[in-house]
Structure 1
Amino acid sequence: MEIRLLRYFIAVANHQSISAAAKYLHLSQPTLSRQLSDLESELGTPLFIRGNRKITLTTEGLFLLTKAKEIVRLVDKTEANFNQPTEIISGEIYIGGGETEAIRFIAEALKDLIQKHPDVQFHLYSGNADDIADKLDSGLLDFGIVIEPTDKQKYDFLQLPATDTWGVLMRKDSPLAKKEFIQPTDLIDKPLLISRQTTVDNEMTGWFGQDVKSLNIAGTYNLLYNAAIMVEEDLGYALCLDKLINTSGNSNLCFKPLNPRLKANLNIIWKKHQVFSHAAIKFLEQIRDNIEKCNRTE
């Protein structure tokens, strides 16, 4: 399967029209139609439902679209980092992470790096630890910011000089809002919203002293912003990290830490034996320098 054909396929899927895609690709319509037919023959399945006004994707076409975009992004990422003058540090850095205050440390390192090498560009991806690991493993990300523990067999890592505090996001008119901190017995019968991240389940199982899945799980979330809206609409209590949702001023929400305290250390991770671009190497050097500075000031 040629990359060129995948680019053609993505263009048709985006435009929902062979004629519009052909114009965008600077191809004749018959040429593009033939190329798409060849792709369907190669895969042995129809990818499009050809209507009078627009083209839609079959189930197989939707699956291919997701994979094709990942493949093309990986090819573009690889080519961009090879096609750079060796005397100039430039290129792209791909970083993934969940919602955490520690991203400020990453932002400071990027700012320091770009001041020295202004041709470096960065790309951020938000997701939980499982999402980040998948994209690291497939080569779509250079680095990931994740909560400990880290799989030390698969990844190299540095511990960041930052910790997050676990607690509960709730409405200010909740009965639990009057408490200074939240204990396991406070939540046993409450509807809970928890992260889908597998390592969080393990941490919470230890804190509760019982399997999280045995609790009253009202729902799960990937990133906290939408979950906070569910909390505001009184659908449950969200187990989450502090400082991610604004609970000051006119907010209807408040955050209460857990007791016993549950802290989350954070690591920046990358695949073992990873071959980095010049930009990624410099970024990692900057992270190390900034960590050393933080350690010296403590």
Structure 2
Amino acid sequence: MPIRLTIRQLEYFVAAGECGSIAAASQKLNVSSPSISSAITQLELELGLPLFVRQRAQGLKMTEAGKTLAVQALNVLNQATELTRMAGAVSNTVQGPLRLGCLVSFAQIVVSSLRRSFEANYPDVRMSQVELTQNQIFAALRRAEIDLALSYDLNLPPDLEFHLVNELPPFALLSPEHPLAGHDSLTVYDLAVYPMVLLDLPISSDYFLSFFTRAGLSPIISERTRDMAVMRSLVANGFGYSIANFLPLNDLAPDGRPLKFVPITGDVQPIAMGVLSVPGSTSSGTHAAFVDHCRAQLT
């Protein structure tokens, strides 16, 4: 009798193995724990092999058979995703689900309006989003957990494709009372003598700090935060200046205090914003349409 497996069973099995527990896989996939548990049990019965050792205190541990199956299951899931992309390319239609990953900085400012306008133009598309760090975006694309990602061209691996949308020059955020707030432009030499509030996100922080390193300077980092809203509030309340590339929609911090934005000139490189994908992804009509929509809306 042939073995009957489903893509859903393999997806739940791989997620449980990566997360180490049914509960964590349930949260990751937004699927009930009993559904995941039942799928794994059915998979084990179909194969006639135990895939996990259930440990009350330590969650799930893969058996050797489970580890072998997990490698093949990932291949099958990736191939299934590619088949879906090919089908979309053949039909050249803009429809179906579109899972978007995005850096936190984009999620706060542009993603909601970008989704709304894209879905208004293409009502047969159902978008979802997840906020990730740069390295998490790379991993999620490779595991086919997301289809596309809004990101920067920082530390990009060679196995992913970057589709340029816009180039964003850096600027300094200052409170109106800051001694440099009245300047039309600033250099890192102007900024280096004042306290800095560093937006301490992975990879992005290295980019900001490289401005000073190239000039042989060391910034005075007085505060660090991974949250853009917190960063703006700290700046507006006089804890220091900060640097960013994406202008907020208004000149107010979350607590209502005003901010000033001053361009940074000199040996500072703009950062490229774009859509990141696995190779060949934008042959899909839906994916290509989203890249074009980003260029129309964000340029």
Q: Taking structure 2 as the reference length, what is the TM-score of the superposition?
A: 0.60
1:270 Cα deviation from its structure 2 partner: 0.5
8 Å contact kept, 1:181–1:258: yes
1:18 alignment partner in structure 2? none
Q: 260, 277, 295: which is aligned to 1:254?
A: 260
Distance in 2 between residues matched to 1:195 and 1:184, nearest whole Å = 18
Q: In the aligned structure 1, how far is the partner of 2:139 from the partner of 2:215? A: 28
Residue 150 of structure 2 aligns with an amino acid whose one-letter code is I
- Mark the CA change 1:2 to 1:147 in structure 2 (over 3 Å): closer, same or farther: closer
Mapped partners of 1:42, 1:142: distance in 2? 28
The one of 23, 48, 71 aligned to 1:10: 23
Q: Matched residue of 1:239: which SS?
A: strand
Write out the 4+ residue segments of structure 1 that deviate beyond 6 Å after TM superposition: 1-5, 11-14, 84-88
Deviations 1:65-86 (A, max 9, x none): xxxxxx9xxx8xx79x96x999
> What's 1:53 paired with?
none
CA drift at 1:182:
2.2
Distance 2:107 2:185 in 1: 20
Q: 3-state SS of the aligned residue for 2:138?
A: helix
> What's 2:125 paired with?
120
Identical positions, percent:
12
- Structure 1 CA distance for aligned equivalents of residues 115 and 24 of structure 2: 36
Cα separation, partners in 2 of 1:173 and 1:103, compared to 1, 3 Å? closer
Amino acid at match of 1:256: V
Matched, 1:180 2:187: no
Give, in angstroms, the shift of residue 258 of structure 1. 0.8
Matched letter for residue 138 of structure 1 = R
Question: What's the secondary structure of 1:177's corresponding residue?
Answer: coil
Determine helix, strand or coil for the equivalent of 2:271: strand
Could you say if the C-alpha distance between residues 136 and 223 of structure 1 is closer, same or farther in structure 2, counting changes exceeding 3 Å?
farther
Where do residues 54-93 of structure 1 align in structure 2 (5 Å cutoff)? Answer: 90-93=95-98
Match of 1:265 in 2: 272
- In the TM superposition, what is the alpha-carbon distance from 1:251 to its structure 2 partner? 2.9
Shift of 1:91: 2.3
**Which residue of 1 is the match for residue 66 of structure 2?**
none
Cα drift, residue 106 of structure 1: 9.5
1:145 to 146, 150, 174: 150
Structure 1 residues 249-296: Cα deviation after superposition (integer angstroms, max 9, x where no partner) = 96332222212264222221112255x8x9x542314534875x79xx
Aligned length: 252
RMSD after superposition: 5.0
1:124-146 deviation line (CA, Å, top 9, x unaligned) = 22344333223223322211222
Q: Deviations over 1:7-47 (max 9, x none)?
A: 99329998xxxxxx87x99x9xxxx9xxxxxxxx976674x
Tell me which residue corresponds to 1:225.
Answer: 229
For the 8 Å contact 2:275–2:291, the answer to whether it is kept is no
TM-score by length of 1: 0.60
Gapped regions of structure 1 (runs ≥ 5): 15-20, 33-40, 50-57, 62-70
Q: Does 1:133 align with 2:138?
A: yes
Q: Shift in Å at residue 121 of structure 1? A: 0.5
